[in-house]
Amino acid sequence: MQKPEENYDLEAYLSEYVETCPDKEIRILNAAINAFADKGFEATRTREIAERAGIAEGTIFRYFPSKNAILESMVPLLIRVLQPKIGKPIEDILNLNPDMPIDRILVAVLKDRLQMIRDNGRFIKSVLPSLIHRAPLLEQLRVSLLPLIEGYVVQVVERGKAHGELDESVDARLVMPQLFGFVLAYSITQSVDPEREARDVEQFVESLMVGWRKR
Amino acid sequence: MQKPEENYDLEAYLSEYVETCPDKEIRILNAAINAFADKGFEATRTREIAERAGIAEGTIFRYFPSKNAILESMVPLLIRVLQPKIGKPIEDILNLNPDMPIDRILVAVLKDRLQMIRDNGRFIKSVLPSLIHRAPLLEQLRVSLLPLIEGYVVQVVERGKAHGELDESVDARLVMPQLFGFVLAYSITQSVDPEREARDVEQFVESLMVGWRKR
DNA sequence: AGAATGAGTGAGTAGTCACTCATTTTGGAG
DNA sequence: CTCCAAAATGAGTGACTACTCACTCATTCT
């Protein structure tokens, strides 16, 4: 039903975590996350998770009391994986270019975010839905990721004001849905054409800046 | 697991459709859509659909060859329900106020869209995920709804240009992810406070217009 | 009135799945 | 090498589910 897209490899992102827990647990989580992404939680059979992990079905239940528990322990893991993916690139852009004008920063950040969504689209589109009917798990993700994003937006806006590039009236709380929304909506609606995307991002930032520049 | 929120009532939106098909079919679809919204497709039992519809389990299979077929015939139905909900309010705003300045139109449209998402949030957040692992069904929704939205955005932009309010450089293709994105992101990130929302929408449109106004 | 119809029913069926546990394999200590 | 405990295995199990079908009975037709 679903094309067997390229797999994630959690282990690559979890070198420290691997040390503190048996690696078979990671193998199972890794297999499960990919299976859930392909078929969704309910439609994924424990047998298939075992096959993907290259172990026996029974072994799963040595490490997790139930199939549900796999999903539950997946959330903190995903937060761990996604937090640095969200934070690191923005920090790099900000720190490595202390004098970059604010519009170049915005362009760089937006391009990076679009790329990030493309890279992790399979997860974002496919594992999230498995959580949607489990409000507490979803909320866990929300509260650990949204403030992080918000924090970086505030940081960028503050810096722009400090450099005298942004008008004092610019409200970070409103900048957030604008940037976040552009990325989200652009990812959903536009097909991928790198050149055109670059132009669109430039133009979008340009139109934002017209309203935001220090008056 | 999931709070039993208020039910939809498809019948209210489908008076014509009801005439062309036995109303028991609608009852089943109505029950199913609400059950899927609460628990997701896979986790919903045919027994529960029957209970919600107030009929026997066997009756379901007189009208639908399989549980899957219920989901499949739900898509064209949803398109029918959502298309007027997307189009009608915008058409009304445009036609009833032929001289309304473009920024007031944008404010009205955005407020209406936010309200619409609040009203249909349960469907949007909960039935869509049931379709996510069925690419063909999802694509059906996408191709019948996105161009519709796009069309209205173009219409608004054209009108703004014709009235000499918007600069010719404003590109409808970019306006779309901006508006759509703001609505989407605002719905996800902000908690509901009508007063604040009104102010935020005003401010957002204001900042858009600064960049867009005829130069 | 009596016959024919077919929508509606729900107990039953075949099959599937998450989870168990008796058995086998592994790997390290002596 | 032997011994043994822990790890791993996968056939087995009971619970449960989508779907079936023989039967009911209200309604319509003759």
Reduce the secondary structure of B77-103 to three states and give it as a string. Answer: HHHHHHHHHHHHHHHHHHHHCCCCCHH
Residue type at B9? D
pLDDT level of residue A102 (50, 70, 90 thresholds): very high
Query: Is B176 in Cβ contact with A181 (below 8 Å)?
Result: no
Say which residue the tokens 């199913």 belong to: B32
Instruction: List C-alpha distances in Å: A109 to A86, A115, A201, A206, B87.
Output: 10, 10, 10, 14, 34
pLDDT level of residue A1 (50, 70, 90 thresholds): very low
pLDDT for B143 = 92
Mean pLDDT throughout A138-151?
A: 90
pLDDT level of residue A128 (50, 70, 90 thresholds): confident
Mean pLDDT throughout A62-84?
A: 91
Does position A15 have pLDDT exceeding 60, yes or no? no
In chain A, the N- to C-terminal Cα span, in Å, equals 55
Say which residue the tokens 């001289």 belong to: B99
Tell me which of A7-11, A135-139, A165-169, B46-50 is least confident.
A7-11
Q: Hey, how many other C-beta atoms are within 10 angstroms of the C-beta on B105?
A: 19
Does position A152 have pLDDT exceeding 70, yes or no? yes
- Closest nucleotide to residue A53 (Cα to C1')? D8
Q: Is A97 on the interface with B (CB under 8 A)?
A: no
Does position A24 have pLDDT exceeding 90, yes or no? no
Give the three-class secondary structure for B213: strand
- Give chain A's mean pLDDT: 85
**pLDDT greater at residue B18 or residue B30:** B30
Does position B56 have pLDDT exceeding 80, yes or no? yes
Query: In chain C, which nucleotides are within 7 Å of a protein Cβ?
Result: 7-12, 16-22
**pLDDT greater at residue B189 or residue B206:** B206
pLDDT for A3 = 40
Q: Residues 19-38, chain B: which have Cβ under 7 A from strand C?
A: 22, 24
Query: Using the 8-state DSSP alphabet, how is residue A7 labeled?
Result: P
Tell me which of A43-47, A176-180, B10-14 is least confident.
B10-14
pLDDT level of residue B192 (50, 70, 90 thresholds): confident
Query: Is A183 in Cβ contact with B178 (below 8 Å)?
Result: no
Residue of chain B with shortest Cα separation from A203: B174
- Give chain B's mean pLDDT: 85
Contact assessment for residue A40 and residue A67, using Cβ atoms and an 8 Å cutoff = no
CA B18 to chain centre: 21
Residue of chain B with shortest Cα separation from A176: B185
pLDDT for B136 = 92
pLDDT for A68 = 95
- Interface with A, mutate which of B39, B72, B191, B210 (most A CBs under 10 A): B210
Residue A76 CA and nucleotide D5 C1' are separated, in Å, by 33
**pLDDT greater at residue B60 or residue B19:** B60
Mean pLDDT throughout A25-41?
A: 91
pLDDT for B69 = 95
A67 CB-to-strand C distance under 7 Å: yes
Residues of B in contact with A151 (CB under 8 A): none
Does position B15 have pLDDT exceeding 50, yes or no? no
Report the residue count for chain A. 215
Residues of A in contact with B133 (CB under 8 A): 1-2, 38-40, 43, 126, 129
Contact assessment for residue B114 and residue B186, using Cβ atoms and an 8 Å cutoff = yes
- For the CA atoms of chain B, what is the radius of gyration? 20
Contact assessment for residue B213 and residue B169, using Cβ atoms and an 8 Å cutoff = no
**Percent with pLDDT over 70 in chain B:** 88
Q: Is B129 on the interface with A (CB under 8 A)?
A: yes
pLDDT for A6 = 58
Does position A140 have pLDDT exceeding 60, yes or no? yes
Find, among A109, A21, A31, the residue nearest to A70 by Cα: A31
**pLDDT greater at residue A130 or residue B44:** B44
Instruction: List C-alpha distances in Å: A43 to B17, B132, B140.
Output: 32, 12, 22
Q: Is A126 on the interface with B (CB under 8 A)?
A: yes
Q: How many CB pairs under 8 A join A and B?
A: 119
Does position B108 have pLDDT exceeding 90, yes or no? yes
Does position B146 have pLDDT exceeding 60, yes or no? yes
B104: enclosing H helix or E strand? helix B102-126
A146: enclosing H helix or E strand? helix A135-162
- The minimum CA-CA distance between A16 and chain B, rounded to whole Å, is 32
pLDDT for B12 = 57
Instruction: List C-alpha distances in Å: B154 to B2, B100, B158.
Output: 39, 17, 6
pLDDT for B79 = 87
A175: number of CA atoms within 13 Å, CB side? 25
Contact assessment for residue A132 and residue A138, using Cβ atoms and an 8 Å cutoff = yes
pLDDT for B126 = 67
